[in-house]
Every structure is written in C-alpha cells, then in structure tokens.
Amino acid sequence: MTGVIGGLPDSVLQLAYLVAGVLFIQGLRDMTHPRTATRGNMISSGGMFLAVVFTVLWFEVLSPLVLGAGLLVGGAVGAWLAVSVETTEMPQLVGLFNGFGGGASAVVAGAELIDVLASGGSLSVGLTVTASIAGIIGTVTFWGSLVAAGKLHGLVGGSPVGETVGHAIKAVSLLAAVAAGVHLVEDRLLAR
C-alpha cells in the first residue's frame, strides 16, 4: 500500500513517526535541565513539525499551500510571543495554550461526529463514547484554563458568586454535559 506523498510506501510514514517520537522523547529529556532546555525545546519542535507535515500531506488533510500558510502564520505568532511575553507572564501563556489544546480536543471530537454523519455513515458506540468524553474533558480544560490564566494575569478577580453557589453551578453544568453525552450514546445503542 502506498501513501499520497509521491507514492511512497507506508514504511516511510512509520519511519517518520518513529523519528518524531524519538525527537519528542529526547526533547523532553533535555527540557529537564535549564542548561539543555532550549535545545530540548528545539528538538521537540522539530519532532512536532515532522509529525504534522507528514500527517497532513500523507492523508491529504490540507493542501501544501494551506499547510505552508498555516506554518508561516503560526510561526509568526509564536515568534512574536517569544519576544513580547515577559518571563513572569509565562504561567498565563501556558494556561492559554493548555486551554486552546482542550478546546481543540472538543472541536475535533465534534468535527469527527459531524464528518461521519455528513458522509452518510453511522456513528459507532465507541466513537460516540470517545467523542462525548473528549468533548466534556476538552471543554472543561478550555474554560478552566482560561479562568486560571485570567486569574494569574489579574483579569479575573475572586468568585463573583458565593462558593456554594459556584460549586452548585459547576455541578449542574457537569451533570448536564454528562447527561447529554449519555443521551448521545444511548441514542447510538438504540439505533443498533
């Protein structure tokens, strides 16, 4: 079986993923010490670049032009953040990045459900359960990280409602999200 990058064999993709994984591990290892942290960050970034480029081009997720434009815009934003964010503001930035990762997880879960339904496919129970869990955890991560970043930056003050009311609102929201996920899964089970 061949991939879409010039008809290369699947072993090329597997090798690229293996190399990316080794780069991630080495990069994480180097990030454990201040003297090698910069090198570790560069090595991990190289691994991520390799994994993203191969995945996007191999599976034709985007055109090479759109991929290049995304890399340029993302690189420009990253470079701007690297020179403009003060060291003391790093916890807020990490909180924002963590929140965006959670939000992306929720969006990908929803997009996968929509993609399967739009292509006329049937949602499996496994996909529905996974998407429901990813949606709930991703959404909680997104909003929790944004609140944490806002508190660290001084944009969000103390609790605008009492602690008991705040816990009740969170509990009701979580129960509603879980109930919606259970309903979605139950609907898939009944459709079988």
pLDDT digits (tens, 9 = 90+) for 148-169: 898 888 888 776 667 778 788 8
The pair of three-digit structure tokens given for residue 112, joined into one six-digit string: 């996968």
CA distance 112 to 184: 14
CA distance 5 to 86: 41
| The model's pTM | 0.68
For 55-78, how does the pLDDT look when each residue is reduced to its tens digit (9 = 90+)? 888 888 788 899 889 989 998 998
The 8 Å CB, 24+ separation contacts for 82-90 are 89/153
Please name the residue that has the structure tokens 């991630």: 24
pLDDT (average), residues 103-126? 88
CA distance 102 to 108: 10
pLDDT band (50, 70, 90) for residue 6: low
For residue 121, pLDDT beyond 90: no
pLDDT band (50, 70, 90) for residue 187: confident
Please name the residue that has the structure tokens 């691994």: 47
pLDDT band (50, 70, 90) for residue 10: confident
What proportions of the chain, in percent to the nearest 5, are helix, strand and coil? 80, 0, 20
- Please check whether residue 24 is in contact with residue 44, taking contact to mean a CB–CB distance below 8 angstroms: yes
For residue 132, pLDDT beyond 70: yes
Please name the residue that has the structure tokens 């459709």: 191
pLDDT band (50, 70, 90) for residue 48: very high
